[in-house]
């Protein structure tokens, strides 16, 4: 079965789901029911509550409908006829959708048995084409109508569908594993981060263990960037309105910025991104062509307004710290510098054991120049071609996407996949030809002539919040040793072993090993189980035998056996593991 046929099946299942819901709730109002990766969903405004316990009943009803071998028939109506049709059924959401369609847009409906829905299609011809054992309703969610948190909150019912029951079973197994790895669940269990209503939604508070993850990622990036010739800068968290007017962010990005603050009669905005500040750094003195490429890096704290309905743990936040840098280059340096940035991406992904990566060339929409995108058509064409050539020459897997660029230039977006196949949009490489012009950035070339540089925006480790969410789920919080918040836990067998444990802990700390000492009165078995639950890489058990020798009893995470190793060898081996940032223990 080809993918287009599977898409038709998934789309048809969303209609059959709506039919089942209307049987249970005849007065339900219909939203939209598109296909998505691996399945479909449909949004409803329901007259009564629906819980996930009701999903098996809806599935049963859907299978009964499929068994009736109903046809899916398309009809095209005029705008007046379409409005009359949905108005008669009191479907006000559909009426709004029709009114918002462009004047010359075809308005089509699909009829199946006694159900008719506004829909562009396509669908299967008959429900007999759908395997009743290859789909499942998975969960519910709340969704504001048209993503607007001032509108009705609808009930969204999600489903998955595949070619056969074996593919479905494999996917459901992956979903169960994903639940166990959910960064929100593990973040709470392992004391990594928290949120507080007193502070506000989307504003994570990093706890000590989570702060270790942030610090280690920042340390990794700083060391890597130092070796690659980056210079670090630090800029304020607020700025006058004039900076964002000059950069173009206020006209193009205002909805994602926090409201201004009046300070001494002038509007100030909290920083949503670092790039305008870095342009000011470049502008602080006249630059020579000999200084380029100039690579400016900063772990700047940024804040962006996200609608409350779109916040999702660490994946979508309002407060973020970016692995940000801006590289100012001569025209002849552009391609090579972008290649080096992509190689940095690949280095990081290899370090974390990310073996499935794809690149997206995000382009502009020529019809929206002067609106969503700066009106510089030739520059758009030239720079999209530069990125295309870089990706082609590097022989990386990539695809092109229309209308996905930044307002000031095209970009390469990086998609990575976790150990269980879950996809994340992480890094980005943007080629900016507009802001250097807006800021009148110049350098003198070898003839003394003033020339405008290109600017490359890059963030290989993305927003730290999002990347840490990925790492939690990718590793299931079984982090490599160098990244683990607690690397070694020392457990005493009895009170008489306490002083030895404390001294050993201090010795490990002198080697910058993150260690905890458990002197509680719990049994050794309970202490070991606690270490396993908290995913501690190495657990030491100290009793009479260990105190009387230089040997340590070591339990490695994921193993039942206690290993005997000399203290010096243990310290030397794990120190080397940490230094090399090895993936395995």
Summarize pLDDT for 502-528 with one digit per residue, the tens. Answer: 999 999 999 999 999 999 989 989 999
Fold matches, 3-167 and 193-475: no
- Decide if pLDDT at 2 tops 60: no
- Decide if pLDDT at 375 tops 80: no
Q: 3 pLDDT band (50/70/90 cuts)?
A: low
Peptide bond into 275 cis (omega under 30): no
What is the predicted pLDDT for the residue at 139?
Answer: 93
- Decide if pLDDT at 406 tops 90: no
Which of 222-231, 347-356, 425-434, 453-462 is the most confident on average?
222-231
Q: Helix 567-580 vs helix 498-510: angle between axes, to the nearest 10 degrees? A: 40
How many Cβ atoms sit within 10 Å of the Cβ of residue 529? 13
Instruction: Please choose, from the candidates 556, 584, 559, the residue with its C-alpha nearest in 3D space to the C-alpha of residue 479.
Output: 584
Distance CA 444, CA 398 (A): 36
What is the helix, strand, coil percentage profile of the chain, to 5? 40, 25, 35
Those residues with Cβ within 8 angstroms of residue 166's Cβ, 6 or more apart along the chain or in another chain? none
Question: What average pLDDT does range 171-178 have in this prediction?
Answer: 88
Distance CA 348, CA 462 (A): 11
Tokens of 195: 């949120």
What would the pLDDT profile of 128-166 be if each residue is shown by its tens digit? 999 999 999 999 988 889 888 788 999 999 999 999 999
Question: What average pLDDT does range 535-558 have in this prediction?
Answer: 92
What is the predicted pLDDT for the residue at 131?
Answer: 93
Give 581's DSSP letter: T
**Residue given tokens 């200084």 in the structure block:** 291
How many Cβ atoms sit within 10 Å of the Cβ of residue 226? 12
What would the pLDDT profile of 241-280 be if each residue is shown by its tens digit? 999 999 888 877 888 889 999 999 999 999 999 999 999 9
Name the percent of the chain lying above pLDDT 70.
99
What is the predicted pLDDT for the residue at 556?
Answer: 95
Q: 427 pLDDT band (50/70/90 cuts)?
A: confident
What would the pLDDT profile of 72-124 be if each residue is shown by its tens digit? 999 999 999 999 988 888 889 999 999 988 888 899 999 998 899 999 889 99
Instruction: Please identify, in words, the CATH class of the domain defined by 193-475.
Output: alpha beta
Q: Helix 377-393 vs helix 334-351: angle between axes, to the nearest 10 degrees? A: 50
CA 482 to chain centre: 23
Question: What average pLDDT does range 44-60 have in this prediction?
Answer: 94
Q: What is the three-class DSSP state of 199?
A: coil
CA 358 to chain centre: 14
413 and 358 in contact (C-beta within 8 Å)?
no
pTM: 0.83
What is the predicted pLDDT for the residue at 382?
Answer: 83
CATH of 481-580, one of 3.40.50.800, 3.40.50.2300, 3.90.45.10, 1.10.3260.10: 3.40.50.800
Distance CA 434, CA 555 (A): 57
Q: 455 pLDDT band (50/70/90 cuts)?
A: very high
What is the predicted pLDDT for the residue at 370?
Answer: 65
E-assigned strand segments in 342-471 = 357-362, 398-401, 411-417, 423-432, 443-444, 450-451, 454-458
497 and 542 in contact (C-beta within 8 Å)?
yes
- Decide if pLDDT at 431 tops 90: no
**Residue given tokens 């980005």 in the structure block:** 428
Those residues with Cβ within 8 angstroms of residue 314's Cβ, 6 or more apart along the chain or in another chain? 183, 184, 187, 193, 204, 465, 466, 468, 469
Pairwise pLDDT comparison (2 vs 430), residue with the higher score: 430
Distance CA 373, CA 278 (A): 21
What would the pLDDT profile of 336-345 be if each residue is shown by its tens digit? 999 999 999 9
What residue segments make up the domains of the chain, in order of their start? 3-167, 193-475, 481-580
Burial zone of 543 (CB within 10 Å; 0-12 exposed, 13-18 middle, 19+ buried): middle
Q: 1 pLDDT band (50/70/90 cuts)?
A: very low
**Residue given tokens 């898409």 in the structure block:** 7
Tokens of 130: 């759908």
Pairwise pLDDT comparison (366 vs 457), residue with the higher score: 457
What is the predicted pLDDT for the residue at 412?
Answer: 86
Name the percent of the chain lying above pLDDT 90.
68
E-assigned strand segments in 88-219 = 107-112, 115-118, 135-144, 153-161, 193-194, 205-206
Q: What is the three-class DSSP state of 229?
A: coil
User: On the CB side of 525, how many CA atoms lie within 13 Å of its CA?
Assistant: 0
E-assigned strand segments in 388-451 = 398-401, 411-417, 423-432, 443-444, 450-451
Q: What is the three-class DSSP state of 389?
A: helix
43 and 32 in contact (C-beta within 8 Å)?
yes
Which of 361-365, 431-435, 493-497 is the most confident on average?
493-497
How many Cβ atoms sit within 10 Å of the Cβ of residue 492? 24
**Residue given tokens 């990539």 in the structure block:** 398
Distance CA 355, CA 65 (A): 42
What is the predicted pLDDT for the residue at 448?
Answer: 93
Distance CA 136, CA 158 (A): 9
Distance CA 14, CA 31 (A): 11
Distances 535 to 332, 480, 495, 532 between C-alpha atoms, Å: 49, 11, 25, 5
Number of helical H runs and strand E runs in the chain: 18, 31
Indicate the fold that domain 3-167 takes in CATH: 3.30.980
Q: What is the three-class DSSP state of 251?
A: helix
200 and 317 in contact (C-beta within 8 Å)?
no
Those residues with Cβ within 8 angstroms of residue 3's Cβ, 6 or more apart along the chain or in another chain? none
Distance CA 560, CA 475 (A): 20
């Amino acid at each position: 079965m080809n993918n287009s046929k599977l898409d038709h099946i998934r789309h048809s299942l969303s209609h059959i789901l709506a039919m089942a819901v209307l049987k249970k709730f005849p007065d339900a109002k219909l939203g939209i029911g598109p296909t998505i990766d691996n399945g479909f969903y449909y949004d409803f405004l329901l007259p009564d509550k629906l819980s996930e316990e009701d999903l098996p009943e809806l599935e049963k009803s859907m299978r009964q409908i499929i068994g009736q071998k109903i046809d899916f028939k398309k009809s095209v109506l005029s705008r007046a006829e379409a409005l009359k049709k949905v108005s008669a059924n009191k479907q006000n959401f559909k009426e709004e959708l029709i009114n918002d369609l462009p004047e010359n847009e075809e308005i089509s409906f699909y009829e199946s048995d006694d159900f008719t829905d506004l829909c562009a299609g396509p669908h299967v011809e008959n429900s007999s084409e759908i395997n009743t054992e290859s789909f499942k309703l998975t969960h519910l969610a709340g969704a504001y109508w048209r993503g607007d948190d001032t509108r009705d909150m609808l009930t969204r019912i999600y489903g998955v569908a595949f070619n056969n029951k074996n593919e479905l079973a494999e996917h459901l197994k992956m979903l169960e594993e994903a639940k166990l790895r959910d960064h929100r669940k593990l973040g709470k269990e392992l004391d990594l981060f928290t949120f507080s209503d007193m502070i506000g939604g989307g504003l994570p508070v990093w706890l000590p263990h989570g702060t270790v993850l942030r610090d280690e990622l920042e340390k990794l990036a700083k060391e890597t960037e130092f070796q690659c010739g980056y210079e670090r800068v630090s800029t304020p968290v607020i700025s006058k309105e004039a900076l964002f007017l000059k950069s173009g962010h206020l006209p193009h990005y205002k909805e994602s910025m926090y409201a201004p603050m009046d300070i001494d009669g002038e509007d100030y905005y909290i920083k949503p991104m670092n790039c305008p500040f870095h342009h000011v750094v470049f502008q602080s003195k006249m630059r020579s062509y000999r200084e380029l490429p100039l690579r400016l890096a900063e772990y700047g704290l940024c804040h962006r307004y996200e609608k409350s309905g779109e916040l999702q743990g660490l994946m979508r936040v309002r407060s973020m710290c970016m692995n940000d840098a801006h590289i100012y280059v001569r025209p002849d340096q552009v391609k090579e510098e972008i290649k080096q940035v992509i190689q940095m991406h690949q280095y990081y992904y290899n370090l974390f054991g990310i073996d499935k990566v794809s690149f997206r060339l995000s382009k502009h929409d020529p019809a929206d120049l002067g609106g969503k995108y700066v009106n510089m058509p030739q520059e758009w064409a030239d720079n999209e071609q530069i990125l295309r050539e870089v990706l082609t020459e590097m022989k990386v897997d990539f695809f092109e996407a229309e209308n996905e660029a930044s307002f000031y230039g095209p970009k390469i977006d990086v998609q990575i996949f976790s150990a269980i196949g879950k996809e994340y949009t992480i890094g980005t490489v943007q080629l900016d030809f507009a802001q250097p012009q807006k800021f009148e950035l110049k350098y003198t070339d070898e003839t003394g002539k003033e020339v405008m540089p290109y600017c490359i925006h890059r963030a290989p480790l993305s927003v730290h919040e999002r990347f840490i969410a990925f790492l939690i789920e990718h590793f299931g919080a079984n982090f490599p040793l160098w990244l683990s918040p607690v690397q070694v836990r020392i457990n005493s067998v009895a009170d008489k072993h306490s002083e030895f444990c404390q001294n050993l802990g201090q010795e490990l700390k002198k080697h910058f090993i993150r260690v905890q000492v458990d002197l509680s009165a719990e049994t050794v078995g309970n202490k070991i189980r606690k270490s396993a639950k908290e995913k501690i890489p190495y657990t030491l058990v100290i009793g009479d035998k260990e105190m009387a020798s230089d040997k340590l009893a070591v339990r490695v995470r994921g193993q039942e056996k206690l290993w005997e190793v000399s203290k010096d060898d243990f310290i030397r081996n794990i120190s080397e593991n940490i230094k090399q940032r090895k993936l395995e223990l």
